[in-house]
Structure 1
Amino acid sequence: MRTIETVLFDLGGVLVDWDPRHLYRKIFKDDAEMERFLTEICHPHWNFLHDKGALRFAKSIPDLQHRYPEYHDQIAAWMERWPEMMKGSIDRTVHILEELKSRGNVRLFALTNWSADTWPHAIERFGFLSHFEGILVSGQEKLAKPDPQIFDLTAARFKLDPRETLFIDDSEKNIQQAREMGFVTHWFRDPIRLRRDLMEYGLL
């Protein structure tokens, strides 16, 4: 088993419980209509383009409102009430991060697909982000996982050796790309399995 010198965390789905449904269940009375809205209007690829830095909400929100005037207020809520999409932290994973920090035997970084527009909300809300030596935010770099360039940038900026870096992410595509680039990987499903893996590497 490889020696791990660095743990590289994803944030959304691993340390932060983010889901637009946390907000839109409050807005839509009908779940089927909500799902249509999140599939066809404010859809995952549209959100990804913000994470990638290819769109900014100041322009994209009015553009969508022009195309779908019947959903004017619901589209506006994506930015106006965005913090409500963050239900909170995934506490058991945060506890693992805190244990790693207290042990001090590995370097800790984060690599997240997150829009530049909404990143300040995360900084304001989650104190555990201070545990990281560095955080690379896709929207600020105009690159997003699983693009190989963002992994190269992360390794270069933080001086990481992929062969000694455990990358934790809840996206299978991101994990596959990282593995192809030589990173040690953990496809996150739940904190229990993550803890087991970290124990096997001797980190907990």
Structure 2
Amino acid sequence: MSSCTPKAALFDFGGVIADEGFRNGLYEIARTNGLDEEGFAAKTRDIIHRTGYITGTGSEAFFWETLRGETGIRGSDDELRNTILKGFNLRGWMLEVIGLLKSQGVRLAILSDQTNWLDELQDRLGFFEHFERVFNSYHIGKTKLEKSLFLDVLDVMQLPPRDVLFVDDTEGHVRRAAEVGLVTIHYRGREDFLKRLSKLCPGLSRDLGRLY
């Protein structure tokens, strides 16, 4: 019998399961090109949505071409991609948390606004095996900016929202998930996350406590 209230948990990838390689990589590209980090990151987020790359309707080549054209950055597609991908380091302690949840029968899935880069990272790091499903915006054609995405995921998993935990480091995504009824944790840091999860899984509080 599970000691956790949620029957399933959806985890964001960058910023939760792994370090935030996208943001950190963009900051590095901005510094290399003498650009404001936050301004460049915001512009890139706009372009990755506007070109359709994040939802699989536009190509990576078109995304980089557009980004270079609108910001003046230098570097080949491969060089720029590698700057971003090298920053996605798996958090070993988070994988331990995921293992603890799995031991309690909690169903696990990734819910990520990502591109084909997530598949490349899987080839390099091999983490899909920890999860029942991987919901990647690049393959499903929707992002977490759309509330209907959460309903689609619930439909696939055949669970009501009250039985599903969603963990993400972006406040807006957490808010939209909560608005459709999911249990949410806004990831702000390791200790805060573990304390919040312990309240949902009291039977794991001792195991989670040693990960602080």
Paired residue for 2:207?
none
Alignment check: 8 A CA contact 2:26 2:40 kept: no
Alignment check: 8 A CA contact 2:29 2:80 kept: no
Report the Cα distance in structure 1 between the residues aligned to 2:63 and 2:166, rounded to whole angstroms.
32
Of 119-128 and 16-25, the range deviating more from structure 2: 16-25
Please give the residue correspondences for 1:47-58 in structure 2 after superposition, counting only pairs within 5 Å: 47-49=48-50, 50-58=53-61
Paired residue for 2:64?
61
**Cα shift at 1:11:** 0.9
Q: Do residues 112 (structure 1) and 112 (structure 2) align?
A: yes
Name the CA shift for 1:84/1:154 in 2 (closer, same or farther; >3 Å).
same
For the residue of structure 1 that corresponds to 2:145, the secondary structure is: coil
Report the Cα distance in structure 2 between the residues aligned to 1:27 and 1:92, rounded to whole angstroms.
30
**Cα shift at 1:170:** 0.6
Please give the per-residue CA displacement for 1:117-141, whole angstroms capped at 9, x wherever unaligned. Answer: 3122121133332111111000111
Query: What stretches of structure 2 of length at least 5 have no aligned partner?
Result: 205-212
Report the Cα distance in structure 2 between the residues aligned to 1:100 and 1:40, rounded to whole angstroms.
34
Name the CA shift for 1:16/1:28 in 2 (closer, same or farther; >3 Å).
same
Paired residue for 1:96?
97
Report the Cα distance in structure 2 between the residues aligned to 1:26 and 1:38, rounded to whole angstroms.
9
Q: Compute the RMSD of aligned alpha carbons.
A: 2.8
Query: What stretches of structure 1 of length at least 5 have no aligned partner?
Result: none
Out of 3, 9, 12, the residue aligned to residue 10 of structure 1 is 12
Name the CA shift for 1:160/1:35 in 2 (closer, same or farther; >3 Å).
same
For the residue of structure 2 that corresponds to 1:114, the secondary structure is: coil
Name the CA shift for 1:64/1:194 in 2 (closer, same or farther; >3 Å).
closer
Please give the residue correspondences for 1:1-204 in structure 2 after superposition, counting only pairs within 5 Å: 3-17=5-19, 18-22=21-25, 25=28, 28-29=31-32, 32-33=34-35, 35=37, 38-39=40-41, 43-49=44-50, 50-66=53-69, 71-73=73-75, 77-79=79-81, 81-86=83-88, 88-101=89-102, 103-115=103-115, 117-202=116-201, 204=204
Alignment check: 8 A CA contact 2:25 2:84 kept: no
TM-score (norm 2): 0.78
For the residue of structure 1 that corresponds to 2:75, the secondary structure is: helix
Identity %: 23
Alignment check: 8 A CA contact 2:23 2:41 kept: no
**Cα shift at 1:13:** 0.5
Report the Cα distance in structure 1 between the residues aligned to 2:191 and 2:86, rounded to whole angstroms.
27
Report the Cα distance in structure 1 between the residues aligned to 2:77 and 2:39, rounded to whole angstroms.
9
TM-score (norm 1): 0.81
